[in-house]
Chains A and B, each alone.
Chain A
Amino acid sequence: MENKYFFTNVEVEDKNKAFVELIKQRSFEKQELTYLLSKPLLEFDGVPYANGMLLMIKGYRMILLGFYENDDDFNNFCDDVQEDVSFFITQFEYKSRIGRPREWWKDVVKEKNNVSESDLLNFIEECKINNNDLIRKANLIFGLLTGSINDNISNLELESPKDILSAVKNKIMLFDADQTNFIFGSLNKKTILIQGLAGTGKTELLLHKIRELYTAKKKENIVAFTCFNKVLAKELRKRVPVFFNSMKVNEQIKWNERLFLFSSWGSSYDKTSGFYSYLCNYYNLPFQGWSYTTEFKDVCKTLYEQLQELKDFNPCFDYLFVDEGQDFTQDFFDLCELVTKKHVYVAMDIFQNVFMHNENFSIAPDYALSNCYRTDPKTLIVSHAMGLALLEEKPRLGWLDEDKCSVCGYNYCKNEDIARISRVPLKRFDDIECENNNSIQLFSLNINDYVHKIVEIIKLIKQNYVNVKPEDVAIVFLESLKSNYEIADKIEYAINTEIEWKVKKGYIDKEKCEDHLFLTNINNVKGLEFPFVICFSIGTLPKTCKIRNSLYMILTRSFINSYFIFDEGNKDFYSRYTNCIEQLNENNYIEVIIPDENERKLMQDNIIKSEMTNKTTKDLVEELLKEMDVPKNEYSKFHTFIQQNYKDGYDTDKIKEMLEGYNELIKRLIA
């Protein structure tokens, strides 16, 4: 039985077997995060405790359990633990914040030697803490011993937060069992897949794993980290030094020597600007940029083939990390495996994979993270529903069956052809009750009222959260249309003048910035997170995989509230999802019609059709010309025609219409 509430590094022996089982069983029944350790998880100079264990349960005092014959030995064990805790407190500079262990040891720790099995559970109950401030202190200690180091300790508020925004900003991170397994476990396979919904902490985990590998003693591992999105790459590049610093990594980061962090493609002028550009430079092979005929998967494929032909080929990285893996195709992953000596770690969003029929993504993940610590559960459910068009006319866009729902942390209850879907309740920010009935709000408006509405929302946020800062808010527009850039400029001006906040535009500056609200298109928001997210869209909301996937991705970026503003013409959409939110607020679940076989087939066909977006425009044009029975020797004039006249993004139907029209015209002129 899989138990995501329990983690242990204790070697099970006869003398402790029954205890370990009992504690494991308890964690599962109570659904309480429980660590049972024979030594701290981070590397340190000490040795495992011979006959003692540390039992840490969230919300309880740390329990030192001993199996010693005499009290002196047990007392020595307790002293050793205190010394080790003291070592970590000093190393990670917690002392100035929480004081010396002797000052609070008795408040946070209980010691027990030779407790009987029958008394154990009662003893655990006696250790429950009823004071939120003390729980926070205990969590900080648990974090030190389990490797969840809080990098914001110097400005973390130790007292229990008073509102959701302070809870978000002062969250004490404590890895759950799935996350701890990923960081401290190892698997004997080349590519290791970690899947989780948006907000399950994938990126944070990758950073911890990078630190583990980069600082591994007696090894000089060469580690690379890449993702498709340039803003995310920039953000990570800023985060890594801060993170390493907070993790007290004493050695200086050898950027572009032992640690690489880049977006996936890069530029030929700067070899370290991208994963691909670095490889081209490293192996002295030609760099290819984007064009009408070339996409990223093509350049990966070509490079892979060229590398395979190289004599004396050697991988250039020991470990490679890929974030937002769903943005890539198999050609990229083949290349990753080839250039990496040991492991490729790929993190991807399980939900976004629903939109792919690629066999690579149907492989079961090695680590599945089901707890979403960022997004409000209600926002998550509604975003899923919108993303898959679950409440709309058939055929809808996709379906999560019972197994997948469970992996995503959903409860799924079937009643004939209706599925009742809800999320397992989760305290995301310690003990603050932060779920609210307004976590996702929809506004159906006339386009002329968008700017005013957005300003009004921000004013309301400022009113409700006095500590809110500009960088806590992101505004994202859904479609890459000219008119959205016009609205964005108006929004910037209004925010500058009416709110007096500075604005950073993701599509221009490619980075988030302190004291600036983040305003961006869809391309620059993946992987980022904000307390508040405002999304706007113009025109009809199409039921396409691409748009709905983007919508899901945007709305799930928020910790507290997501606001979705769209055109008043989408009456049906507004009414369906407003009802959905009401149902969710009332019952904590939504009811959805389970697709029949026929609809499932249509869903799959649509996914395959939408995957044509992975093809180049040239590929698509040729496929359509083939369908139209145009002779191959005439293809070139159609390519020229589309290249010169088609500027509207990737729209199969429109390209088809243009090709047919052009073909008609040529035929008529010749006739």
Chain B
Amino acid sequence: MKKLIFNIGPLEIEKYKYIKTQNDVLLFYINIARLFYAAEPDKHINNKTYAEILIDNYSRVFLKMSENKICSFNFPFSLIDDVLYIGDIKYDQYMLTILERLIKDTEEKKLPFFNVVFEGNYEYEFPEYDIDQIIKAYSYLCKFDCGYFRVEHDVNNENGDYHPTDHIDFYFSQKNTLKLGFSNRPNDQMIKEICDNSKKRKFIKI
């Protein structure tokens, strides 16, 4: 198993606060890839907040956002010689920068990604811009199931069985998200084990 730990601060965590649309998922991927390139991995978790990338029979990011919240999503990249790839596309910082700019432009202009790509004169600002590579890179990122879930110990919003103190939220969009309660507070290790296909499964008692 490949394990990368980054003890990170509140400003890094803030980048993962909002998830409402598919574009937010893509920005999560981009941010985690940036973190991978920009920060030196730590040997141990020694922070209240951290990002942990686990690459095994599954490939996931676990993001400890506060003492009471941990979220997890797919880590879509393959790691080859310290560079991130999906298929034949290399996701270096230049590529990540252009993708982020394009995704943010689609949000701002309220246009589909492909319109933005073909319409804007990005070559002017990014001389090494390769439109074919960009489209491939974007398409590859989109094809993944983001596998998003969030586990919370939420005392403030507790509302009996409708909003249990300890719960897990699956999916992110308002109409699809669903919540399952825990009768006890799960620890971080248990949450990670839920995702590990080689471990014995947890059961919901009905």
A interface residue numbers (CB < 8 A to B): 265, 267-270, 273, 289-290, 480, 482, 485-486, 488-490, 492-493, 496-497, 500-502, 505, 507-509, 521, 523, 647-650
Q: Which of B35-43, B152-160, B165-173, B175-183 contacts A (4 or more CB under 8 A)?
A: B35-43
Report the Cα distance A647→B129, complex, angstroms. Answer: 7
Expressed in whole angstroms, the minimum distance between the Cβ of A471 and any Cβ of chain B is 15
Question: Which of A489, A508, A648 is within 8 Å of B127, CB to CB?
Answer: A648
Q: Considering only CB atoms, which chain A residue lies closest to B102 in the complex?
A: A508
Chain B residues with CB under 8 A of A290: 121, 123-124
Question: Which of B94, B115, B121, B124 is within 8 Å of A482, CB to CB?
Answer: B94
A289-B109 in contact (CB<8A): no
Chain A residues with CB under 8 A of B118: 289
Report the Cα distance A265→B100, complex, angstroms. Answer: 22
Expressed in whole angstroms, the minimum distance between the Cβ of B106 and any Cβ of chain A is 11
Chain A residues with CB under 8 A of B124: 290, 523
Q: Which of B6-14, B17-25, B57-65 contacts A (4 or more CB under 8 A)?
A: B6-14
B8-A267 in contact (CB<8A): no
A493-B119 in contact (CB<8A): no
* Size category, B interface: 20 to 34
Q: In the complex where A289-B119, A507-B97, A507-B101 touch, is A647 in contact with B38 (Cβ < 8 A)?
A: no
Chain A residues with CB under 8 A of B109: 267, 269-270, 273
Report the Cα distance A508→B121, complex, angstroms. Answer: 14
B contact face: mostly helix, strand, loop, or mixed: helix
Chain B residues with CB under 8 A of A485: 93-94, 97
Within 8 A of A (CB), among B92-146: 92-94, 96-97, 100-101, 104, 109, 111, 115, 118-121, 123-130
Report the Cα distance A647→B126, complex, angstroms. Answer: 10
> Which residue among A485, A521, A649 has the maximum number of chain B CB atoms within 10 Å of its CB?
A485
Q: Considering only CB atoms, which chain A residue lies closest to B33 in the complex?
A: A489
A486-B121 in contact (CB<8A): no
- Asked if B34 CB lies within 8 Å of chain A CBs, one says yes
> Which residue among A268, A489, A509 has the maximum number of chain B CB atoms within 10 Å of its CB?
A489
Question: Which of A268, A270, A489, A500 is within 8 Å of B34, CB to CB?
Answer: A489
B interface residue numbers (CB < 8 A to A): 8-9, 11-12, 14, 34-35, 37-39, 92-94, 96-97, 100-101, 104, 109, 111, 115, 118-121, 123-130
B128-A647 in contact (CB<8A): yes
Report the Cα distance A647→B98, complex, angstroms. Answer: 15
Q: Considering only CB atoms, which chain B residue lies closest to A509 in the complex?
A: B104
Q: Considering only CB atoms, which chain A residue lies closest to B97 in the complex?
A: A485
8 nearest A-B pairs in the assembled complex, by CB-CB distance: A290-B121, A649-B127, A493-B38, A496-B11, A482-B94, A486-B93, A489-B38, A508-B101
Expressed in whole angstroms, the minimum distance between the Cβ of A643 and any Cβ of chain B is 11
> Which residue among B92, B93, B124 has the maximum number of chain A CB atoms within 10 Å of its CB?
B93
Can you give 12 A-B contacts (C-beta < 8 A)?
Answer: A269-B111, A289-B121, A290-B121, A290-B124, A485-B93, A488-B93, A489-B37, A492-B38, A497-B11, A505-B97, A523-B125, A649-B128
